[in-house]
Structure 1
Amino acid sequence: MNQLPASAKSVPATMGQTIYPEPYASQVKGRLKRKLGDYFGLTQFGVNLTHLSPGAVSALTHSHSKQDEFIFVLEGFPTLLLGAEEFQLSPGDCCGFKAGTGIAHQLVNRSSETVTYLEMGDRTPGDQVEYPNNDLKATQTINGAWILTHKDDRPY
């Protein structure tokens, strides 16, 4: 945990790291994430500086039951998939995703340039994540760990 100011670029980054099992894990291989909130020991909410290479996605299309999310585009032109709609975003654009609505979302980089954005979310315990396009379900345990199963609750 750090309590001093830092350059975001100095925070360690992970490329393509995910809790998704295969065949889903490979879908985020072009995502580079710096967990700024974790770096500073934040426990109430998370903040990530995320870069998407051309062709990369932010995550599988998903919706949360309890945790709100927010994104702010810094560089590039990602496509936001929001429910059945698509929106072309530009630097300075933002969007919030209210928990419990069931409206799934995902960012896709369909451009030839890297996309950079901030993603923020609260860490409300007991969250469940639905992935409408995939046979995947995520359930958060009391200690904050995630359990990933098929939609019929079979383990991966």
Structure 2
Amino acid sequence: MKKGTTVIDLTTLVEHWGSGYPSPFEEPCMARSKVALDDAGGLTQYGVNLVTLHPGAWASQRHWHSHEDEFVYVLSGELTLITDDGETLLTAGMATTSIAGVADGHHMINRSEASATYLEIGSRAPEDVCSYPDIDLHLEPDSAGGHRFVKKSGELY
């Protein structure tokens, strides 16, 4: 029987470093750490990550999602949000939303001298396609129910 409520001790969770992007796209994200709170709590409807960007780190490559809304809440530090409209400085207590299906590439960079931490929340739409407007990269669903990185031509990485 599933438990309805789970208490998560963050000290017991694995911290993952980097992005999982194919080379060379992972390089700017190497000083990013992420803890998956969603899986630890048994969530299936949406994802929640506790993310830390150390000085100079990127959260991701600039991207947008076909079927996944994203919400970010800054817990500490300073981050620069970069979208098609330009740059916005984010500080603790600020939040951003990125709406599914809107082709507005976005990402965050820590340009400060201190680490910054935020919550990243998004739906887990299996049909989601992630587009990266600045680079030759696309994330698409695979036949096993996951996702895979491909070039814009469709060729696998």
TM range (shorter): over 0.9
Q: 1:50-76 CA distances to partner (integer Å, 9 max, x unpaired)?
A: 000000010100000001100000000
Are the aligned partners of 1:126 and 1:142 in contact in 2 as well (CA < 8 Å)? no
> Structure 1 CA distance, aligned partners of 2:61 and 2:35?
18
Look up the match of 1:38. 39
> Structure 2 CA distance, aligned partners of 1:147 and 1:49?
23
> Structure 2 CA distance, aligned partners of 1:143 and 1:90?
39
Are the aligned partners of 1:27 and 1:57 in contact in 2 as well (CA < 8 Å)? yes
Look up the match of 2:74. 73
Offset at residue 19 of structure 1 (A): 2.8
Offset at residue 120 of structure 1 (A): 0.2
Offset at residue 7 of structure 1 (A): 3.2
> Structure 2 CA distance, aligned partners of 1:23 and 1:42?
32
> Structure 1 CA distance, aligned partners of 2:23 and 2:119?
26
Look up the match of 2:151. 150
Q: Normalized against structure 1, the TM-score is what?
A: 0.93
SS at match of 1:47: strand
Identity %: 35
> Structure 2 CA distance, aligned partners of 1:43 and 1:139?
19
> Structure 1 CA distance, aligned partners of 2:91 and 2:66?
28
Q: Normalized against structure 2, the TM-score is what?
A: 0.92
Offset at residue 27 of structure 1 (A): 2.1
Look up the match of 2:116. 115
SS at match of 1:33: strand
Structure 1 runs not aligned, ≥5 long:
none
Q: 1:108-153 CA distances to partner (integer Å, 9 max, x unpaired)?
A: 0000000100000001121111101110011023643112111111
> Structure 2 CA distance, aligned partners of 1:37 and 1:55?
26
1:3-152 aligned at under 5 Å gives the runs 4-16=6-18, 18-141=19-142, 143-152=144-153
Offset at residue 9 of structure 1 (A): 3.8
Structure 2 runs not aligned, ≥5 long:
none
SS at match of 1:37: helix
Offset at residue 11 of structure 1 (A): 2.1
